[in-house]
Chains A and B, each alone.
Chain A
Amino acid sequence: MKSSVIIFPGSNCDRDMDVALKKFGFKNKMVWHNDNVIPKSDLVVLPGGFSYGDYLRCGSIAAKSNIINSVIEFANKGGLVIGICNGFQILIETGLVTGALLRNKYLKFICKNIFVKTNKAHNKYFNKIKKDILELHIAHNDGNYFCSQDDLKSIQDNDQIAVRYCDSNGEISENSNPNGSIQNIAGVFNEKKNILGMMPHPERVIDSCLSSNDGSYFFENLLSNMK
């Protein structure tokens, strides 16, 4: 399976994503933001980091970069696109997924392990993962998901909420919400569910010597769906 990771100036999780994809069997290519076309891929990943220094608004400048039209075209044709952390912010700025990501509620950068409850229905990202609750990792300043009540209703009705922050028992509450996100939303799909944007980093938790190994389930599942 072929994947492409886009490098924007200021991306800093591009290598980590490359390492993770290769570890689980993807043939990955790194793609420069100034290129016009993405190579033939089954999966495109917008990695985390601080593209363009987070200037103007997180993700906004990357959403106007050269490569992005090609990403949008790929997504509109049903290609699988993942945006992690800053990648999620970029997806939002391109309009490929709904909502906004505001400053964290307590106005602090947060780096820690968190638990998320996954949505397994009709998507290739979480469908066959045996665990319902994954221990992943967040590291962000602007991950406070927000959308209008109408949009919220619409993403709920279409089952587009991909992952929600919870505690280790799966309870979704104010206490398990690290950043103030509406409805504890940590990630969303587009309508067709071929695009996933989420704040947690699965690529940082792919080995038992790291803070968790649950990211492995994510990549293994994704690959198994693409074969």
Chain B
Amino acid sequence: MIEVNEKIAIDHGLKKDEYKKICELLKRNPNLTELGIFSAMWNEHCSYKSSKKHLKKLNTKGKKVIQGPGENAGVIDIGDDDAIVFKIESHNHPSFIEPYQGAATGVGGILRDVFTMGARPIANLNSIHFGSPSNKKTKSLLRGVVQGIGGYGNCIGVPTIAGQTSFDESYNGNILVNAMTLGLVKKNKIFYSKAAGLNKPVIYVGSKTGRDGIHGASMASAKFDDKIEEKKPTVQVGDPFTEKLLLEACLELMRDDSIIAIQDMGAAGLTSSSVEMASKGKLGIELHLDKVPCREESMSPYEIMLSESQERMLIVLENGKEKKAKEIFDKWNLDFSVIGKTTNSKNIELYFEKNKVANIPIDLLSEEAPEYDRKWKKSKLPQKIKFTKKDFKNLKITDVLKKILSSPNVCSKEWIWEQYDHTVMGDTIQKPGGDAGVVRVHGSEKAIAATVDSSASYCYAHPLSGGKQIVCETWRNLICVGAEPIAITNCLNFGNPEKPENMGEFVECVEGLNEASKYLNFPVVSGNVSFYNETKDKGIKPTPTIGGVGLIKNYKDMITMDLKETGNLILVVGKTEGHLDQSIFAKEVLNEKKGPPPEINLFNEKNNGETVLKLIKDKLIRSAHDVSLGGIMTGIAKMCIKGKKGINFYKYKGLIDKFEFFFSEDQGRYIIEVKKENVDNVKKILDKNSNHYDLIGEVIEGNISINDEPTLSVDKLADYNKDWLNNYMVN
């Protein structure tokens, strides 16, 4: 075996002083297998060494939280002994190198995280971000990622119910692929990854181990350069068919209490799964690597420990249950092998061909892993831009609306989600394209709403406000479908943490999201961090992605955003102040990219949200949509398009300019459709709760009519909204 030295350690992504620390802790030089294990466990992806300090501050507790961060996924209580298991995870680096497999295995990985805990996956979501549409790689990356997400989710038979897609030149060299899964489990049948008991058999199940994905976790903690093509072999290859078998086999085995602990082999494969189970149980673990089912000839212990072959699980079983467990995995045609046992050594001990090939105290891999307090730079709130009447001269609201609706970040993403099976399992009651996806809790009256959101340009302009804003937007999206927001999961995509600017973005985004999460009682129950989204020293805009989950007690109370009947009135709840900085209007129409993001007033946010939710529960609202990108006008246009209805706007008489009124992106606002006979009642409730509102128009047949401007046909608008992406992908 090769003698390990500092250079080899650095090639493994470790820093000089980290290698020094390893030698000191071991009181000797590690061998190559041991070095591989350290490099996998100590990299950013597995150790959270740059982020840990800040993540500890997150608001993770709540009455409905059964399991917060630290497990395979978070778990929340939805009543009647039912629980929802959910998490979001990034697969950014591999998806840029190999979009189809990168995205597919991202979906596969997050699905495993959820069914590892005993839950049957019931919904998938994703948040994907690409470079500028004019960048030559964007189209093929988008196509590959969408096909990869669909290829995996469709085959395994879990509906993809919602998502988000954005384009920004900061992703030219680093796309983002964040995948989220929700699963349903009975509260008393949740499985954890903490091993317990001595001499318990350690079982390997699933696919065979191959040479794919070796060093995947290290690659995910590295910056990109010109030689990125050479990293292709580090990308894992997915097989959703095997995952479907693994899912059914695991759930079958979980029906009784044979399993003590279970952990999927995700990043850093067998290494991190075995170390994590032992570490949580404060035990040792002994593995015999000859017994690991291998796909390729003569794989070394190093390769077996670091392979990231997909669709594999590690299980600590009760003694005597091996035979029964094997029968189940045989039935599903999956590999099953007893590869080791739990011990009291507190070490991970590896054997291969009767030789001991590694022996490391588990603590050194987990608790002793480095933790950094990185330098970070506070960002200033940018100066507000003073827009004047002159800026809006010669503009027509209808022209601006057409431009915004057909812009890449606002246009309809139907081309994407039509390629995802969003109806399998037969419980999808709100498909993609709305504020949140909704699935029924099978066989019950309950339904679960889920959404994913991120606002990179707000976060880039001012991380603290941006962080708050996303949590609020997630909360609003859940409320818009009539769901009570319960908890969130976060996927924190950032640049290089060794740069104080990037680290500052991280710290302040986290601070912002935490503040909102606390105020709204909307705890974080799971998540992941992806740093080093950087190519040739250029990082992405800070992009924390928030996945939110809410409960609808009776699925019949769910509402959608499409306008329902002519004659109904349209109100905007929440005050429109006219904040245009960082809005789509400012960027796309006025070509102004500076200025602060809209301010967040958490009191109003909470107050408006709670009142709207109450109105929905009281069946006083026919349709609702939050005001986000493109302001009131864009929001209403989308409600018109979905409902194939129009709106007649009342004459605008406000104090701010009409462009500011219709296109500003002030937060905490909802557009609601109310029946005429209910309007007085709704106004009374809004007044009573001190919610600002404006009555702005009335639902009519297929046209949008604004004051003195020519009317716009909703059918035509729908085409504008849909055509951009269709044309982009076809041409």
Contacts and interface: CB of A to CB of B under 8 A. Distances in A.
Contacts of A26: none
Interface in B337-378: none
Contact of B426 (A19, A50, A54, A55): A19
Contacts of B245: 9-10
Interface in A107-123: 108-112
A52 B245 CA distance: 10
A16 B155 contact: no
Interface stretch (B205-213, B290-298, B417-425, B694-702): B417-425
Contact of A210 (B156, B333, B418, B428): B428
B421 A111 contact: yes
Given A209-B556, A210-B429, A53 B424 contact: no
B423 A50 contact: no
A222 interface: no
A126 B632 CA distance: 47
Contacts of B429: 209-210
A204 B423 contact: yes
Contacts of A112: 418
Interface stretch (B101-109, B170-178, B236-244, B400-408): B236-244
B485 interface: no
Interface in A147-191: none
A203 interface: yes
Nearest to B555: A209
Given A10-B155, A109-B150, A211 B423 contact: yes
B241 A10 contact: yes
Nearest to B239: A53
Contact of B421 (A52, A53, A139): A139
B157 interface: yes
A16 B424 CA distance: 8
Contacts of B147: 109
Nearest to B438: A209
B419 A53 contact: no
A15 B121 CA distance: 14
A49 interface: yes
A67 interface: no
A52 B426 CA distance: 22
B308 to A, nearest CB: 20
B649 interface: no
A137 interface: yes
A53 B431 contact: no
A12 interface: yes
A53 B428 contact: no
Interface centre among A15, A19, A111, A141 (most CB of B within 10 A): A111
Contact of A109 (B241, B419, B440, B555): B419
Given A13-B157, A52-B241, A53-B155, A137 B423 contact: yes
Interface string A1-31: 0000000011011011001100000000000
A13 B424 contact: yes
B543 interface: no
Contacts of B154: 50, 109, 111, 139, 141
A108 B423 CA distance: 17
Contacts of A19: 426
A111 B155 contact: no
A19 to B, nearest CB: 6
Contacts of A55: 241
A57 to B, nearest CB: 14
A10 B431 contact: no
Interface in B256-279: none
A139 B423 CA distance: 8
Contacts of B156: 12
A111 B157 contact: no
A32 to B, nearest CB: 8
Nearest to A12: B157
A18 to B, nearest CB: 10
B362 to A, nearest CB: 37
Contacts of A210: 423, 426, 428-429
B392 interface: no
Contacts of A203: 426
B240 A53 contact: yes
Interface of A: 9-10, 12-13, 15-16, 19-20, 48-50, 52-55, 108-112, 137, 139, 141, 201, 203-204, 206, 209-211
8 contacts: A9-B245, A15-B425, A48-B424, A49-B157, A53-B241, A109-B421, A211-B423, A211-B431
Given A53-B155, A53-B241, 9 more contacts: A9-B333, A50-B155, A50-B244, A55-B241, A108-B419, A111-B422, A139-B424, A141-B154, A206-B426
